[in-house]
Structure 1
Amino acid sequence: MIGTLVDEYAFAVEEGKVMEFARAIKDPAARYVDAEAARDEGFAAIPAPLTFTVIAGHHRDAAAAVALLGLDIRRVVVGEVGWEYERPPVVGDVLHGRRTVADVQRKDGARGGTMTFVTLATEFRDAAEEVVVRQREVLIETAKASS
């Protein structure tokens, strides 16, 4: 499964969505609502908060991705997510995400059964095809319950 393309999608970094996201994470920084404040901090435009790319989940089909991976969505949880930034995404960017399988491991569960750990790697590129953000997430399919 390593190297399998899971999905591709695109989304715009929109001013209103950045403001809503900043409000949701309770970050009152002016840079998320005021272009002048953003420029004063050295940004080319209003930046997106650091974890903003999680909104990609609204632009892809989670059930189809899990089915492609051969996992049972009823037993899948997100174990961890990490980000590496080449530059901050800013309002006006259109990010193109491409998510692939980076690793698969199976481990015996503490209460019996086998758990599957699938690491997914996503590159978010801008219109110039430059990498803006790399995201890694680990999906865990928990062991089946004993009958």
Structure 2
Amino acid sequence: MSLDRSVIGREFPPVSLLIDRSRLRNFAKATGQLDPIYTDLDAAKNAGHRDLPVPPTFLFGIELEAPNPVAYLDELGIDLRTILHGEQQFDYHRIAYAGDELTAAATITDLYEKKGGLLEFLVRESTVTNQDGATVAVLRNILVVQNQPEKAAS
């Protein structure tokens, strides 16, 4: 199945998440963050932070909090069995902290193909803002969609 380039510019409903310390501590532990600023409030404050800072890559998980985080793939007619995670990029603008409410709003920004259409690359950017509307980060995700070659007519 080939995707239509008209999907470029398509926006998806935003997802919001109130960030709590417990969630940040669990994420830091799961990802091997050894710096105590991610788990110990006193260490964070002694380092000049107002609360526990959000660890690197945590922002990727905001959209996973949606009731169906892959609904956009269903809407585009993409079979989950045909995709690969191709790339993830984080462009950080400011630090987010425990107590912040972060909102991720995603848009498809590009679609291109390789190998004569056997591979399609769906580029999706999510802008994460805090409760004040300030941009915290922009996440860029590329999914690779594997298409089946057309079978020759018999």
Query: Which structure's residues are more often strand, by fraction?
Result: 1
The letter for the 1-side match of 2:60 is: V
Which residue is 2:12 aligned to?
6
Secondary structure of 1:53 counterpart: helix
1:13 and 1:93 in contact (8 A); partners too: yes
1:104 and 1:118 in contact (8 A); partners too: yes
1:6 and 1:68 in contact (8 A); partners too: no
The C-alpha deviation readout for 1:19-75, integer Å capped at 9, x for no partner, is: 011111111211112222112222221101110012224312233110223322110
Say whether residues 1:77 and 2:84 are aligned partners: yes
Paired with 1:24 and 1:87, the residues of 2 have a C-alpha distance of 23
Which residue is 2:139 aligned to?
135
> Cα RMSD (Å) of the superposition?
1.7
The letter for the 2-side match of 1:26 is: G
State the 1:137 CA deviation. Answer: 0.3
Paired with 1:145 and 1:38, the residues of 2 have a C-alpha distance of 54
Say whether residues 1:123 and 2:130 are aligned partners: no
TM-score (norm: length of structure 2): 0.85
2:15 and 2:63 in contact (8 A); partners too: no
Higher alpha-carbon deviation: 81-90 or 36-45: 36-45
TM-score (norm: length of structure 1): 0.89
Secondary structure of 1:31 counterpart: helix
Say whether residues 1:89 and 2:96 are aligned partners: yes
The letter for the 2-side match of 1:69 is: L
2:60 and 2:139 in contact (8 A); partners too: no
Paired with 2:81 and 2:32, the residues of 1 have a C-alpha distance of 31
Structure 1, unaligned stretches of length 5 or more? none
Higher alpha-carbon deviation: 18-27 or 29-38: 29-38
The structure that has the greater radius of gyration is: 2
The letter for the 1-side match of 2:80 is: I
State the 1:146 CA deviation. Answer: 7.4
State the 1:133 CA deviation. Answer: 1.1
Structure 2, unaligned stretches of length 5 or more? 1-6
Number of matched residues? 144
Secondary structure of 1:127 counterpart: coil
Paired with 1:6 and 1:67, the residues of 2 have a C-alpha distance of 13
